[in-house]
Every structure is written in structure tokens, then in C-alpha cells.
């Protein structure tokens, strides 16, 4: 596979071919940084994708993702795309009414959820005739026939791969550039959320243009990601870093960004103006409140910097 990718599935698999043994994801578990290589991620995506198909999910189905940022978010995204399904990201800040509207409007058959949203998903399920499956990233606190663990789904996919080793490749290769990849709903601040339809071609073109513009080739950059993947900016950048062979580290939370910056020391980072405004305000607050003579030195250096 040497030509430029035409779908997000090809973006992923070309990157895996190029960087299979290299580290890609870095994340904290129990206070310690852990990592996954491109090859390990590819194996997990394959297992989860086959698990989805074995559950009865098909090409064209809508599969929602309701979770904070974590490696499993992207794993669910890639597995959904691999089987030709369409993912529907949900903001963690959206009200229950808005989530119900999105799941009903998109006719989602399945939803991936992290622990904070599992009970809410169970509450919504009886009111959503199209929703058949709830896949839990984390161990459920209480057993329910309506919940399937992602680990069990992957285990089933592992078994099925041993029986049908060629199925996964035929699935992800079946997607076409014009196929719908995601339904991206707005936050719903003005009326009901609106679903934006983005194809594989849309997001792949964005990845390639960003790649050629950014000059990230052969750099092996380190990235710290903290913006929500539900927003298309961070998700599109994640595809870019995937394709460029970067190491993507996941901030533990918005409050941990400063500490994680010191630990990861990223060479590249995506952000929004509000974060820079907060950093600037914190610097000014500390400088002005430092007391004499540090305050005077701070104001002098700030004035010198402006000049």
C-alpha cells in the first residue's frame, strides 16, 4: 500500500505498515505512563471490529461514543470505521435530553460508554427503540443484560479472527471515499443539536493537506492531547498525528495539562485561545502578586518583552 490513502481506514493501515513497531499512544494507568505501539493498536482495533460484526452490527449502522478522552475512545472510533459503520460522538457536557435526541435522531444501534455515563445510557435505553447495544469501556459496578464489556467484545473478535483470518481486511477495505464516516452533532446551544455529515473523503483530505502543510514527516514528534475528541478539531489532528508517526500522549484531565506538559515535554500541541488566555492570566496574577521587588522586575520585563 504505497499510494496516498482515500479513506480513514487506509490512513490507519498505511500508518501501521510504516510504524508498526513504534510507540504511538502514551497514557497513564494507576499513576504510571504506559504505551501502545502502532502494531498493538492495530491488533486491538481488529479484535474489536470483528467483535462488533459478530454482535450483529453492520455496514452503515450508527454507533455512538459517549466518553471522556482516553485511548479507548479512538479505539472505538477506528473499529467502527473499520466495519463500515458511522460513529456518532457525544459531548460529555451535553444534557440527558440532548443525548436522547442525538441517539434517536441518528438511530444509533450501539453506544460505547465510559463509567461516568453508563447509568445514564441504561436510563435512556428503554426510550430508544433503535438502541440495542451498550458497550462499557470500564467494569460495570452492577451486572445488567443490557451491558456488554468491551473486553468481552474483543475476546469474541479474537476468536473469530482465528476462524476467519481474512474477514477483517475485507471489511475495512470495503469502505469507499464517499461513504459517511461520522455524524458530528453540534452542542445544541441554539435549539436541537444538528448532525453534520462528514465522509471518509472529507476527513482523509483534511489529514493529507494538514500533513503536507505541517512538515511533520520523519520527525517522530511528541504530542500532548487534551481537547475533546468529540470536537472535530482535535479528532482531525489525531488522524494527522497518527499518519505522521507521532507519539500521542493523553492528558489525564484538563486540570492536569500543566503537570503533563512537564512530564511529556511535547514538541507539538494543539490548543484553543481560551487555554492560552488562562495561562496568560495565571502568569500576570502571579507576577503582580509577587510583592516588591519581584513585582517591579516582572512589570519591567513584561514591558521590555512588549517593546
Q: How far apart are CA 176 and CA 153, in angstroms?
A: 26
Q: What is the pLDDT of residue 2?
A: 57
* CA dihedral of residues 296, 302, 306, 307 (deg, nearest 10): 40
Residue 230 is given by DSSP the state: T
Q: What is the model's pLDDT at position 61? A: 98
Question: What's the predicted TM-score (pTM) here?
Answer: 0.91
Q: In what order do the strands lie in the sheet with 62-66?
A: 147-149, 133-136, 110-113, 62-66, 86-90, 180-185, 195-199
**Rounded CA gap, 44 and 65, in Å?**
17
Q: Which three cell numbers stand for residue 223?
A: 504530542
pLDDT at position 16: 98
pLDDT of residue 57: 97
Regions in the chain scoring below 50 on pLDDT: none
What contacts 280, CB < 8 A, 6 or more positions away?
none
Q: pLDDT, tens digit, for every residue of 149-173?
A: 999 999 999 999 999 999 999 999 9
CA atoms 260, 252, 194, 98: torsion sign: negative
CA distance 76 to 153: 11
**pLDDT tens column, 275-298:** 788 878 888 888 888 888 888 888
Amino acid at each position: 500500500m504505497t499510494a496516498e490513502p482515500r479513506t480513514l481506514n487506509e490512513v490507519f493501515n498505511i500508518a501501521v505498515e510504516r510504524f508498526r513497531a513504534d510507540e504511538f499512544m502514551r497514557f497513564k494507568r494507576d499513576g504510571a505512563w504506559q504505551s501502545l505501539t502502532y502494531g498493538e493498536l492495530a491488533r486491538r482495533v481488529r479484535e474489536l471490529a470483528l467483535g462488533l460484526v459478530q454482535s450483529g452490527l453492520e455496514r452503515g449502522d450508527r454507533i455512538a461514543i459517549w466518553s471522556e478522552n482516553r485511548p479507548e475512545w479512538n479505539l472505538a472510533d477506528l473499529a467502527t470505521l473499520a466495519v463500515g459503520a458511522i460513529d456518532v460522538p457525544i459531548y460529555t457536557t451535553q444534557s440527558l435530553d440532548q443525548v436522547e435526541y442525538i441517539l434517536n435522531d441518528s438511530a444509533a444501534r450501539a453506544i460505547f460508554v465510559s463509567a461516568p455515563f453508563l447509568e445514564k445510557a441504561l436510563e435512556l435505553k428503554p426510550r430508544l427503540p433503535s438502541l440495542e447495544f451498550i458497550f462499557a469501556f470500564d467494569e460495570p459496578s452492577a451486572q445488567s443484560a443490557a451491558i456488554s464489556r468491551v473486553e468481552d467484545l474483543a475476546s469474541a473478535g479474537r476468536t473469530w479472527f482465528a476462524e476467519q483470518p481474512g474477514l477483517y481486511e475485507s471489511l475495512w477495505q470495503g469502505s469507499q471515499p464517499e461513504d459517511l464516516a461520522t455524524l458530528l452533532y453540534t452542542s445544541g446551544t441554539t435549539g436541537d443539536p444538528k448532525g453534520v455529515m462528514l465522509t471518509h473523503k472529507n476527513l482523509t483530505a483534511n489529514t493529507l493537506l494538514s500533513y503536507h502543510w505541517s512538515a511533520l514527516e520523519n520527525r517522530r514528534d511528541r504530542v500532548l492531547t487534551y481537547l475533546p475528541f468529540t470536537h472535530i478539531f482535535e479528532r482531525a489532528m489525531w488522524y494527522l498525528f497518527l499518519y505522521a508517526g507521532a507519539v500521542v500522549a493523553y492528558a489525564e484531565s484538563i486540570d492536569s495539562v500543566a503537570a503533563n506538559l512537564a512530564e511529556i515535554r511535547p514538541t507539538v500541541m494543539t490548543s484553543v485561545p481560551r487555554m492560552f488566555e488562562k495561562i496568560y492570566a495565571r502568569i500576570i496574577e502571579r507576577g503582580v502578586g509577587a510583592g516588591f521587588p519581584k513585582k517591579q522586575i516582572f512589570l519591567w520585563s513584561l514591558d521590555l518583552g512588549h517593546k
